[in-house]
Amino acid sequence: MKSFAVTLRLLRLLVAQKRLFGIALLLVTLASLFQPLRPYLYRYVIDHPLKDKDAHALLLWGGVLVGMSFLHALVQRGQTLFTQRLAWAVSRQLRRALFEKVLRLSIPSLEKYPTGILYTRTLTDTQTLQSTLAETFLVIAGEILQLTFLVGLMLFVDTRLTAITLLVMPLGLWASQYFSRKIRESFARVRLYIARMNGYLQEIFQSRELTESMGAEPSLWSRFLRLNRLYYLSYRRVIGYFAWFFPTMETVTLVGLSAVLLFGGYLIYQGETTVGSLVAFTLYQQLFFRPFRIIADQVNSLQMGIVSADRIFRLLDQNTEESLSGVMPQLKYPYTLEIENLHFGYTADREVLRGLSLRLVAGKVYGISAPTGTGKSTLFYLLLGYYEPQEGVIRFGGVPLPQWNKAYLREMIAYIPQEPVLFEGTLRENLTLYEDIPDTQIWEAAERLGFLKYVQAWSLDQSVGVGGGALSAGERQLVALWRAALRRPAVWILDEPTAHIDPQMEGFIYRGLRYLAKDSIVMIVAHSPDTQAYCDEVIKLSPAHAA
């Protein structure tokens, strides 16, 4: 997306916040009037009260100038307050839209994004954009307004001195444009390496135990140093351009000031202008290039915000949202789950499942036994509607899965992976996922599963730690089963649920699942004979079903 298009889109977001944008724009307009007006008043004071030695008028105008300074400070404070609130409102809106977008992306699309990239878009990029919006857009607007008022007053005071001041403007514009382009390119590289660093660090932190056990720290450290150096070099390039930009603009300002003083002195000598006008123009000349410096500086800062906004908009514009619309059928017991001639592959040249047909009915526990790579997890993802088969059909309750409302379908299915997912927070929050569920209902679910006596000493308000780190592997599995039981699913899909649980607890859980199977379809990945003994039927997936 081009920078101009991104900028227009950001402006539309700002204008959409009508009240905040209106107040901020009004304050910016008022603030832009003060700076050009002050030298004009200095000119009047020098050429009249001071020249006429009118002490009373001098005191009066001194009070006016002091009052203007205080009023200017109040307006600037209001401007800062409302521009920050406006920026926060827009960034909050974008952050919510990003979070909703990520949740609604289809699984195949989501898998294309490293976790660090999504983290950068949702937090780092929106934070960068918030700073840009708060400190850039309206500041640039204010400086442009100030420059407009300034040129108008300069022309009113003396057209010849105005022409001298404007002669150096092309040089200042060229310098601003050149450095803006270079800094924008450098900022794009900075954002790229930030995203790569975030993604890499998250992967390392999540796999720390594995990397330490394999002694991989030296190679990982070496790769981190390479990424860190690339990030450092990209940012050093930005700093280098900034280091040249400010002295260049200062030099342009000094050249213009020298020309105004020389020509203005000559006009005073010829009696064609006044001392007050020359003093005003020396101030005007500095003020004239001040907006250019600030605008150029803000445009440079805007580049980083535009890069972040472009990345945010690209993600928001992804046309890969999963459609959740569909029917919400009322299942009639005994319902069925039917798979007919199922073919599926992640790529066109390699099928994972080929010609699979099954018929599962409520009231039974089915064991799934298959070698690694024959499509167990793929089958589960197809049942959840994450992917669409290339051939064949899956029916649940007699209704093909593509016709189901996906959100409603997944409420009917409980999928529990071998490594359960827990969030930092309390046990209650992990069980209810922040829904308002009565404690009695929570404990009843544990009782239905048959392990109430194992968890009744737990407190629902106890912390489970980051990723459930305060619990053992077996306890985390219990929490995952407990959480699923709260929702009374019609289908249970369990990927080796007792892999980390002792034999006694395993018996309790399987007896609880036998009880749940009275009203549900239960599918268990079952490799061991002990697990298969609890199943009513064992389905063996073999390479005949896989490519």
Q: What is the CATH number of the domain that holds 307?
A: 1.20.1560.10
Mean pLDDT of the residues in the chain: 81
Average pLDDT estimate for 265-287: 80
Q: How far is CA 196 from CA 82, 223, 410, in A?
A: 35, 11, 33
In a domain, 325, yes or no: no
Q: Is residue 336 within a helix (H) or strand (E), and if so which, with residue range?
A: strand 336-344
Whether residue 366 is found in the same domain as residue 430: yes
Whether residue 375 is found in the same domain as residue 311: no
Whether residue 395 is found in the same domain as residue 279: no
Average pLDDT estimate for 201-222: 72
At residue 547, the pLDDT reads: 42
pTM, full prediction: 0.63
Q: Where are the alpha helices (DSSP H) in 214-358?
A: 217-269, 275-316
Whether residue 364 is found in the same domain as residue 433: yes
Residue type, 233: L
Whether 381 contacts 108, CB under 8 Å: no
| Residue 541: pLDDT band with limits 50, 70, 90 | confident
Residue type, 48: H
| Residue 545: pLDDT band with limits 50, 70, 90 | very low
| Residue 441: pLDDT band with limits 50, 70, 90 | very high
Domain of 290 in residue numbering reads as 3-316
At residue 116, the pLDDT reads: 62
For 349-389, the pLDDT digits (tens) are 778 888 888 899 988 888 888 777 777 888 888 888 888 88
For 481-519, the pLDDT digits (tens) are 889 888 888 898 888 776 666 777 677 777 777 777 778
In a domain, 322, yes or no: no
How far, in Å, CA of 477 to CA of 465, rounded?
A: 15
| Residue 196: pLDDT band with limits 50, 70, 90 | confident
* pLDDT higher than 70, residue 418: yes
The number of distinct structural domains making up the chain is: 2
How far, in Å, CA of 268 to CA of 311, rounded?
A: 57
At residue 270, the pLDDT reads: 79
Whether residue 75 is found in the same domain as residue 164: yes
In a domain, 93, yes or no: yes
Who contacts 260 (Cβ-Cβ below 8 Å, separation ≥6)?
161, 164, 165, 278, 281, 282, 285
At residue 499, the pLDDT reads: 67
